[in-house]
Amino acid sequence: MDSEYGDLSVEQKPIKDHSHSHHHHDHGHGHGNGHVEVEYLNLPGNNFYEDLDAELNGPLYAGIQTFAHLGHVSCFDPTNFASEQFDIALVGAPFDTAVTFRSGARFGPAGIRKGSRRMSPGQVSPYREGFMLYDDWAKFVDCGDVAMHPLDNRYALNQLYRGMRAIHNHTTSTLNATHIPRAILMGGDHTTTLSALQAIYEKIGPVSVIHFDSHIDTWDPMVLGGNVSSYMQVNHGTFLHYAAERGYLNHGHNLHVGSRAPYVRKHGDIEHDKHCGFAIVNAREIDEVGIAGVVQKIKDRVGNTNVYISVDIDVLDPVYAPGTGTAEPGGYTTREFMQILDGLEGINIVGADVVEVAPAYDGPGDVTLLAAAQVIDSLASLMVMNGPLSTRQSTK
């Protein structure tokens, strides 16, 4: 048979005949006349179009990139709130104009999606027997990115708040009317967490923040960035001050984990941090109490409250996450951090984010992007293990 490649020099049997032919075991036995009969290789038929219905999904490195190859849904149009139902939404916040050192986290959402390419529905966890994150009770979607204006921070953060509010206003795939979709925010600099906290606070009340970060981010706005204009006061080092001041947080149940960056005042930063309702687990404490000890400190702090987990990727050591704005040596390894997150199974996680991912500073092989995507996978697992989110969860 002639194909689009012309007459092939190797004589082949039609593919349909293979099931009926017996296999020779005397390999290399030719038929003469310059033709070799190949029976034990499954070559495609000369008509390649016959096989096109066999595999229409591309390999994991192909296709338009959503997080973990999840379906994309337009989450911000109110006319879709009832019709587009989901339980856990990934959403990007491409914003980096409130940073104090290296910028570039506006490309974080695209970078994290790139780092997630080897994840997809259909995969089974090697650590939780039989657990398939994206095929359990929760319907996942990728909402794409919220439009955030690069030239006015307060306008952009309000855009993000509205986008997060829209996500929470969707109907869940589960039937109970009290259920609320959870969101996992992909930053973006850390200021974006403030908009996410506002949206979830308005839906379910105050939350306890587990803040994985090398910095405290509760700095007094008059100390960090402010004291010149009020516009400067809202930034990636002060957003937790504002979250506390506005009442979004459960006072006394919040915790920094992995802290190690220098303070800017001898005593004032720590005093102000306590006023904001936080305690601190410094990065090196893991060498004294181990991973289980760090997990226990976190669980003791948040108790049965509603918990929001915010992950600044700079909580990892710069070896594991160089692609970030304000890297600080002496952080966790990626594996240590995976272990800590898995250890938090059972807490009432209501929302989460991974922020400060700046791909331009990343090392060869997308090391930061891979780590950030894996962190999201771990956070999403905590949500699925915790069951559907409803307003009836404990707030104390």
> Quick one: 213 or 336, whose CB is closer to Mn ion?
213
> Quick one: 111 or 144, whose CB is closer to Mn ion?
111
> Quick one: 341 or 355, whose CB is closer to Mn ion?
355
CB atoms under 10 Å from CB of 36, counted, come to 14
What is the rounded CA–CA span in Å between residue 61 and residue 117?
A: 6
> Quick one: 188 or 388, whose CB is closer to Mn ion?
188
By CB under 5 A, residue 213 contacts Mn ion:
yes
Q: x/- contact string, 68-97, with Mn ion (CB under 5 A)?
A: ------------------------------
Amino acid at 27: H
Question: Beta partners for 145?
Answer: 92
> Quick one: 220 or 312, whose CB is closer to Mn ion?
312
By CB under 5 A, residue 256 contacts Mn ion:
no
CB 190, min distance to Mn ion, A? 4
CB 73, min distance to Mn ion, A? 29
Are the CB atoms for 147 and 88 separated by under 8 Å? no
For 172, phi then psi, to 5°, come to: -85, 165
> Quick one: 213 or 220, whose CB is closer to Mn ion?
213
Of the candidate spans 183-191, 201-209, 241-249, 369-377, the one that interacts with Mn ion by CB under 5 A turns out to be: 183-191
By CB under 5 A, residue 273 contacts Mn ion:
no
Q: Which of 145, 217, 273, 362 binds Mn ion (CB under 5 A)?
A: 217
* Per-residue b or e along 7-32, where b marks 16 or more CB atoms closer than 10 Å to that residue's CB: eeeeebeeeeeeeeeeeeeeeeeeee
Are the CB atoms for 184 and 89 separated by under 8 Å? yes
What is the rounded CA–CA span in Å between residue 154 and residue 305?
A: 30
Q: Which of 312, 328, 362, 377 binds Mn ion (CB under 5 A)?
A: 312
Q: Specify the 3-state DSSP secondary structure of 348.
A: strand
- Under rule CB under 5 A, how many of the chain's residues touch Mn ion? 4
> Quick one: 133 or 354, whose CB is closer to Mn ion?
354
Of the candidate spans 26-34, 262-270, 307-315, 379-387, the one that interacts with Mn ion by CB under 5 A turns out to be: 307-315
Of the candidate spans 20-28, 53-61, 187-195, 257-265, the one that interacts with Mn ion by CB under 5 A turns out to be: 187-195
Of the candidate spans 281-289, 311-319, 363-371, 383-391, the one that interacts with Mn ion by CB under 5 A turns out to be: 311-319
Sheet holding 182-187, edge to edge: 140-145, 88-93, 182-187, 348-355, 306-312, 208-212, 254-259, 278-282
Are the CB atoms for 277 and 244 separated by under 8 Å? yes
Q: Which of 190, 241, 253, 272 binds Mn ion (CB under 5 A)?
A: 190
* Alpha helices by DSSP H, 52-191: 108-115, 153-168
Q: Name the residues that contact Mn ion, by CB under 5 A.
A: 190, 213, 217, 312
